[in-house]
Amino acid sequence: MNKGYSENDFETLDWYEHIRRRPGMYLGKLGNGSEQDDGIYVLFKEIVDNAVDEFHEGWGKTIDITLNEETKEVSVRDYGRGIPFGKLLDAVGKMNTGSKFGKDGSLAYGKSVGLNGVGTKAVNATSTQFYVQSFIDGDSYYAYFEKGVLIRKGKEKAKDEKDGTFVRYTADNTLYDGYNYNLEFIDTMLKNYVYLNIGLTINFNGNKYKSENGLLDLINDNLSETPLYAPIHLTGKDIEVVITHCTETGENIYSFVNGQNTFNGGTHLSAFREGVGKTIKEFFKKDFDPKDVREGMVAAISIRVGNPDFANQTKTMLNSKLTDTVANGGIPVRDFIMNFLAFDLDNYLHKNPLTADPLLKKILASEKERKELASFQKARRSKKTSLNNEKLKDCSVHYGDNNERAEETTIFITEGNSASGTITKTRDTKTQAVFSLRGKPKNTFGNSKKVIYDKKNAELNLLQAALGIEEDIDNLRYNKVVIATDADVDGMHIRMLLLTFFLLFYPELVRRGHVYILQTPLFRVRKRKKDGAMDTRYCYSEAEKQDAIGKLGKGPEVTRFKGLGEISANEFKDFIGEGMRLDRVRLNKDDSVHEMLEFYMGNNTPDRQNFIKDNLREDVIMEDIINNSTETEE
């Protein structure tokens, strides 16, 4: 029986062909530059990482970087040792080749990020042009590639050039979906490099990046309010920590491994959170709940480990259990961090009562509020299950599940039954849930968290239960929390009320990039073609509408959608599927949540009403609710 499966179905790909066909294996995702973990930033970081590793090993104190926003060409020049000429081609064009694996127990790079011999090859393969040149002792060797294919190579004299490596590349526009660079992401990345490498200077497009105080500069540069006490700055061999507390709710912790921003956390972050709670409890000799200790905490931790085990090639989560290989005397990451905090943090608190006193007051205040909330939570808990069954149309996969689609999980927060019904009929029941609001939620600004448990404010009480964040934000059940309101004044107001709720009580949801606003089309422009078929264009702004009318010619039918419920289920399935447009809500480092909410949601009703009306443009994107707060994801 012929099963349609033979030797002819097999093929062997060159290294660059495999990367180009399966880029997700190497880069996580491609994207178009609207998210900080999109592929173009991974490429950028892979090249800069190599230059920073040279600095960390003691070679070269300056890195020069340029980005041409028009041509999208990136160049990186370090002043390290230079790639040995005989291995340059292999280093950039032969998979699993590198100097960071360790040979006979030794490493050319002690504690670096790039250990897999893959990163630079991924840059080469997914770029339309890739040029590398190594300079050593007045000589140089270069190679030029196109989409991973070697075009030319050769040697040149370079007597006036300092030792080091130069890389120039342009990411392939066809692979990265018509990408554009977000310079804010680049700025944050470069600042992190210098925070983590005191003495390093990075020059980027005429701007100079340098830090004198490491992670202390990171925390001070990112504080949006005056902290309750001067930040605690602790350093040791292969570890640096900064800790302070503010009045804002939640916790905000920056974590790094070998200079890599591990914004998805890992073993080191878990150990840090545990260690801070344990050390402070023992210092005050009180059995505090660790959550009360961490409430309002703003902190950063950076460690360096040998042979780090990351969750994936993009290195955003640490899996390592040891600080180094067992052969090199490694100890558990948890013990390494816990022991450091137990000694250094405890010692600091004993020597600095001006820090210990406000810290204790903050913890006691958080403890008091948590215990007061407990009684409200208990009174409301019995009613939640039945009510949420009515308001929540859940999905079968949840964020945090051991499922390949867990990252896709989304909950749409809608207003009214008609909009909820439309989305419910068209959603993917495996990964998309719908929560239906009834009327406008209460303005929570100026209230404590107890307001959520007021019987008159059941909507937000049930919403937090549906999200799974009542006890701990780490229990979030959906990766994307999408506000889906109508494109009118009431919809805009509801959007602001929900954002106020999240920013006031769950700012970590925003900081971690979980909160989005759904864009839905404002217009449908269609016209029947000569063959009888309907040519339909959905437009998200007045400009798109006019463009569609121009392309369809005279006499098209134009429909203005005033609410989500007016869009049929058959049409709506396209707007929450692969073509879904989302604006991610982001907090700018200069934003003070309290000051922002005081203006928009405080006792200034006329100002707020004018703001809503002024911003209710045809495309209805609330860009000004948070400064520089949104990026469009298509």
Pairing of strands 149-157, 523-528: unpaired
Q: Extract the tokens encoding 623.
A: 């860009």
Per-residue pLDDT at 2: 57
Q: Which residues contact 382 (CB under 8 A, 6 or more apart)?
A: none
Q: What are the residue ranges of helices labelled H in 248-352? A: 267-284, 290-294, 333-340, 346-351
d(CA 231, CA 225): 13
Count Cβ atoms within 10 A of the Cβ of residue 478 and give its class: 0-12 exposed, 13-18 middle, 19 or more buried: buried
Which strands sit side by side in the sheet containing 557-560, from one edge to the other? 534-539, 523-528, 557-560
Q: Is the pLDDT of residue 448 over 60?
A: yes
Q: Is the pLDDT of residue 70 over 60?
A: yes
Minimum mean pLDDT range among 277-281, 453-457, 521-525:
453-457
Q: Is the pLDDT of residue 85 over 80?
A: yes
Long-range pairs for 545-554: beta carbons < 8 A, 24 or more residues apart: 548/523, 549/525, 552/525, 552/526, 552/527, 553/527
pLDDT mean over 414-434: 86
Q: What are the residue ranges of helices labelled H in 404-485? A: 417-426, 458-467
Contact 461, 390 (CB under 8 A): no
Question: Tens digits of per-residue pLDDT, 334-363?
Answer: 889 999 999 999 999 999 999 999 999 999
Look at residues 115, 160, 127 and name the one whose alpha carbon lies nearest to residue 23: 127
Question: Tens digits of per-residue pLDDT, 395-422?
Answer: 999 998 888 888 889 999 998 777 788 8
Count Cβ atoms within 10 A of the Cβ of residue 270 and give its class: 0-12 exposed, 13-18 middle, 19 or more buried: middle
d(CA 494, CA 484): 10
Per-residue pLDDT at 248: 80
Contact 579, 633 (CB under 8 A): no
d(CA 516, CA 610): 24
pLDDT mean over 442-454: 75
Q: Is the pLDDT of residue 576 over 90?
A: no
d(CA 253, CA 280): 17
Contact 291, 238 (CB under 8 A): no
Q: Is the pLDDT of residue 176 over 50?
A: yes
Question: Tens digits of per-residue pLDDT, 284-306?
Answer: 999 999 999 999 999 999 998 87
Question: Which residues make beta-bridge pairs with 528?
Answer: 534
Q: Is the pLDDT of residue 455 over 80?
A: no
Per-residue pLDDT at 115: 46
pLDDT mean over 323-334: 62
pLDDT mean over 454-460: 74
d(CA 65, CA 48): 9
Minimum mean pLDDT range among 18-27, 141-150, 233-242:
18-27
Minimum mean pLDDT range among 234-238, 284-288, 558-562, 574-578:
574-578
Contact 288, 367 (CB under 8 A): yes
Q: Which residues contact 604 (CB under 8 A, 6 or more apart)?
A: none
Question: Which residues make beta-bridge pairs with 340?
Answer: none
Q: Is the pLDDT of residue 629 over 50?
A: no
The alpha carbon dihedral of 263, 268, 272, 274 has a sign of positive
* Identity of the highest mean pLDDT range in 176-185, 203-212, 373-382: 203-212
Look at residues 285, 290, 288 and name the one whose alpha carbon lies nearest to residue 338: 290
Q: Which residues contact 475 (CB under 8 A, 6 or more apart)?
A: 400, 468, 469
Q: Which residue has the higher pLDDT, 457 or 505?
A: 505
Count Cβ atoms within 10 A of the Cβ of residue 120 and give its class: 0-12 exposed, 13-18 middle, 19 or more buried: buried
d(CA 267, CA 256): 11
Per-residue pLDDT at 617: 42
Q: Extract the tokens encoding 534.
A: 């309907």
pLDDT mean over 442-448: 77
d(CA 40, CA 38): 6
pLDDT mean over 270-282: 94
d(CA 110, CA 96): 18
Per-residue pLDDT at 34: 82
Minimum mean pLDDT range among 91-95, 325-329, 370-374, 487-491:
325-329
CA distance to 113, 137, 430, 493, 583, per residue, from 52 (Å): 10, 21, 43, 47, 33
The alpha carbon dihedral of 187, 188, 193, 199 has a sign of positive
Report the chain's mean pLDDT, rounded to a whole number: 82
Question: Tens digits of per-residue pLDDT, 207-254?
Answer: 999 999 999 999 999 887 899 999 999 999 889 999 999 988 888 899
Per-residue pLDDT at 313: 45
